Amino acid sequence: MINKILLQSVISKYYLNGLNNQVKWRIKDNTLTIYAGERGRVCKVHLNDFNMEDGELGIFDTGKLNKLISITSGDLLLKVDKTKSIFTRLYVSDNNYDLTYSLADILILGKTSWYEDPPKYDIELSLSRDDIDYLIKAKGALADIDNMVIVSRLNGDGVKICEFIFGDNTGFSNKITYQIQGTILKDNISLPFNSDIFKDILSANKEMNTANVRISELGMMNMKFTSFKIESEYYISRNE
């Protein structure tokens, strides 16, 4: 059994509003692991205490699966059919509904690449829930602009700070700057990232207990979130 809200939370953390639709659910030792993404942005989501037999489920259309789950309520019972060692159907049931979702051949879904950490990170931040809310609001105020620049610099008191600047690169565009203090090993870093992806990740993880962001001047951002049962991790490379 798994609670509907918990399952939807796991899905939202890799689906990211439709960015990652086709994935494999890997189950081993009652742990569900999902890798998703493509070159330039990848993610990994872990769910502990996922009581299902070991194997891989090919999810060809996460959007459709999510719509099926959305009509259920409460605790859900998940079962699978398989032919030999291949899972072919996922059954989802609650007190009112019995749902059937056809699984894809995992061979047609291909492989998801993964990134290794750079030699070091130059900026390390711990985000509070307020930080996450403010960053989401800042992006929402400039929803039509997908550019965000992360800058490390010294403030007027000589303290190293990290700035998230939402807006175009042109000097005449609207901009919003949000400052956060953290462990900043180097100032004068300026890196552009996609603010849409950044906001979707924050929105999908805003209920998590811990949120940490690390940035390397080589152009890599790593984001990690943890809660009681879920761990999610993301790598995003800088914009060109």
178 in the same domain as 85: no
71 in the same domain as 139: no
- 218: how many CB neighbours lie within 10 A of its CB? 13
The mean pLDDT of 60-66, rounded to a whole number, is 96
Cβ distance 103 to 45 under 8 Å? no
pLDDT-derived band at 169, boundaries 50, 70, 90:
low
Residue 94 within any structural domain of the chain: yes
Look at the chain and count its residues.
Answer: 240
The 3 state secondary structure assigned to 75-131 is EEEEEEEEECCEEEEEEEECCCCEEEEECECHHHHCCCCCCCCCCCCCEEEECCHHH
Check residue 94 and give its pLDDT: 95
Residue 98 sits in which domain range?
2-109
The mean pLDDT of 122-135, rounded to a whole number, is 97
130 in the same domain as 204: yes
Q: Is the pLDDT of residue 237 over 90?
A: yes
Rounded Cα–Cα distance for residues 41 and 95 (Å):
38
Percent of the chain's residues with pLDDT above 90: 83
Q: What is the pLDDT of residues 8-36, one digit of tens each?
A: 999 999 999 999 999 999 999 999 999 99
Cβ distance 186 to 122 under 8 Å? yes
Check residue 113 and give its pLDDT: 76
Rounded Cα–Cα distance for residues 125 and 164 (Å):
12
CATH number, domain at 43?
3.10.150.10
Domain end marker among 77, 109, 141: 109
Element (H, E) at 203: helix 195-204
Check residue 170 and give its pLDDT: 66
pTM across the whole model: 0.94
Number of domains in the chain: 2
Rounded Cα–Cα distance for residues 72 and 79 (Å):
15
77 in the same domain as 22: yes
Which residues, in sequence order, are CB contacts of 86 under 8 Å at separation 6+? Answer: 105, 106
Check residue 172 and give its pLDDT: 59
128 in the same domain as 78: no
The mean pLDDT of 152-173, rounded to a whole number, is 85
**What angle (nearest 5°) sits at the alpha carbon of residue 238, between those of residues 124 and 108?**
110
Rounded Cα–Cα distance for residues 112 and 85 (Å):
22
Check residue 106 and give its pLDDT: 87
Q: Greater confidence, 85 or 189?
A: 189
Which residues, in sequence order, are CB contacts of 197 under 8 Å at separation 6+? Answer: 16, 19, 41, 236
Q: What is the pLDDT of residues 87-124, one digit of tens each?
A: 999 999 999 999 999 999 988 887 877 888 999 999 99
Of the candidates 233, 183, 181, the one whose C-alpha atom is nearest the C-alpha of residue 211 is 233
Rounded Cα–Cα distance for residues 235 and 42 (Å):
5
Give the lowest-confidence range in 66-80, 98-112, 122-136, 161-175: 161-175
Q: What is the pLDDT of residues 186-229, one digit of tens each?
A: 989 999 999 999 999 999 999 999 999 999 999 999 999 999 89
pLDDT-derived band at 141, boundaries 50, 70, 90:
very high
